[in-house]
Amino acid sequence: MKIDPIHQFNIEPLFTIGHIGNHTIAFTNSTLYMFVAVALISVLMLASGRQLVPGRLQSVAEISYEFVASTIRSTAGAEGMKFFPLIFSLFMFICVSNLVGIIPYTFTISSHLIVTAALALLVFFTVLIYGVYKNGLKFFKIFVPSGVPIYILPLVMFIEILSFFLRPVSHSVRLFANMLAGHIALKVFAGFVAMLGVSLGAVGWLGGVMPLALTVALTALELLVAFLQAYVFAILTCIYLNDAIHPGH
Amino acid sequence: MAESHGEKSGQKAGAHTEADGGHGGAFPPFDSSTYASQLVSLAVAFVALYIIVSRFALPRVGGVIEARQNMIEGDLADAQKLKDESAAALKAYENDLAAARSRAQAISNETREKLNAASEAERKVLEDKLTAKLHDAEKTIAATRATAMSNVRGIAADAATAIVQRLTGAVPDGAAVNSAVDASLKGQA
């Protein structure tokens, strides 16, 4: 019995679609779960009722709507509502794919750095392009904090610029690492149960209660992390967009 | 690349914890051969999601929420209006009640005063009448007394004459008796 906690992250092509340059574009399990996430969000948002007094599904749809809307309003102000569809899509996409990923035998899209990096870069370039488009050169005032003595300003500016360009890194690695580590931990502890049982027989199955309990507890924790990381991703997006909307902070 | 994909899929068609030993070596999230596929699928999926969300999902759910908000606000406004109306009605009722009460008070005061005045007048008339009667009675008493007093003088004179006659045997002079009686009455009086 060998536990392979990395296996769950394998990208398995289901069929090949075509080639771009010398890259093969395949329909993979990752693709499938992306479409699953999109389909689940669409069902939630489009198939829920439109009653005056909402049912369960409609409540979930409305709560997610209002949750994201209030997050944007509180961090980026009313002007941030321009980006409501973007932030809502990001939040729901990450949240749903994280939650789906907790189900055993599924694949977690956000456990791949390339996906989280792509989403983080999408946010980064949205901030950069919208900031320059809306504020022109004034956008770069975000690198020059007001009220800093002139003799340390170059240092502060250097740090600000560095942190600005490192944003997509921290933004993407945070989500990726959380999902990856959580799933590896889950897999390892769940594997212990089977390993103890197979190697020690009845005593092992009894001893397996401990890692099993830990697996249950970790699953609960992962549920929290799945939601929390989606929220963190969304709120950081709001904060970054706030810089683009109001650069003179 | 196509070959590597195909090879992998052939190797990986097993259960999760299967010890098939076929990872192709690389840690999957850092296996750059899968990046292109993932990026393309992410782009397609995310653009589709963005379009669905911005065109259909958010307007729909937002519309439902807004309709509910409007309805609640409308209902609250109606309730407020009704409450104001009932408050106004209550105030009008209270004003009417106060007016009626003060009118009743005025009427009762007026009536009481009228009755008081009437009884006062009656009492005065009665008193006057009684006073007049008392006066008359007093006059009668005085007249009777005067008559009686003049009679007393005659009787006294007669009695004095008779007494003197019995004692002395001689009839006293009338004028002397009269003056003596007068003197005696005067001394008494």
pLDDT at A139: 85
**If you measure CA to CA, which chain B residue comes closest to A35?**
B45
User: What does the pLDDT look like over A67-98, one tens digit per residue?
Assistant: 999 999 999 888 889 999 999 999 999 999 99
User: What does the pLDDT look like over A154-209, one tens digit per residue?
Assistant: 899 999 999 999 999 999 999 999 999 999 999 998 888 888 888 888 888 888 88
**If you measure CA to CA, which chain B residue comes closest to A22?**
B1
pLDDT at B108: 96
> Chain A closest CA to B24's CA: distance in Å?
10
Whether residue A225 has pLDDT greater than 60: yes
CA atoms within 13 A on the CB side of A50: 12
* Contact with chain A for residue B41, Cβ under 8 A: yes
The answer to whether the CB of A130 falls within 8 A of the CB of A244 is yes
The answer to whether the CB of A26 falls within 8 A of the CB of A16 is yes
pTM of the model: 0.72
Spatial separation of the C-alpha atoms in residues B93 and B107, rounded to whole Å: 21
Spatial separation of the C-alpha atoms in residues A75 and A141, rounded to whole Å: 19
Nearest to A45 by CA among B148, B13, B52: B52
Is the Cβ pair B53, A35 closer than 8 Å? no
Q: Which residues of A touch B6 (CB under 8 A)?
A: 13, 16
DSSP secondary structure letters along A69-112: HHHHHHHH-GGGGGGHHHHHHHHHHHHHHHHHHHSTT---GGGS
Is the Cβ pair B49, A38 closer than 8 Å? yes
Mean pLDDT, 10 residues at a time, over chain B (189 residues)?
A: 39 39 65 86 94 92 91 95 96 96 96 95 95 94 88 83 84 81 73
Spatial separation of the C-alpha atoms in residues B144 and B155, rounded to whole Å: 16
pLDDT at A53: 83
CA of A246: how far to CAs of A77, A126, A134, A151, in Å?
A: 9, 14, 10, 26
Is the Cβ pair B37, A25 closer than 8 Å? yes
Which tokens belong to A74?
Answer: 């509180």
Provide the ipTM.
Answer: 0.89
Of A28, A85, A113, the CB nearest to B29: A113
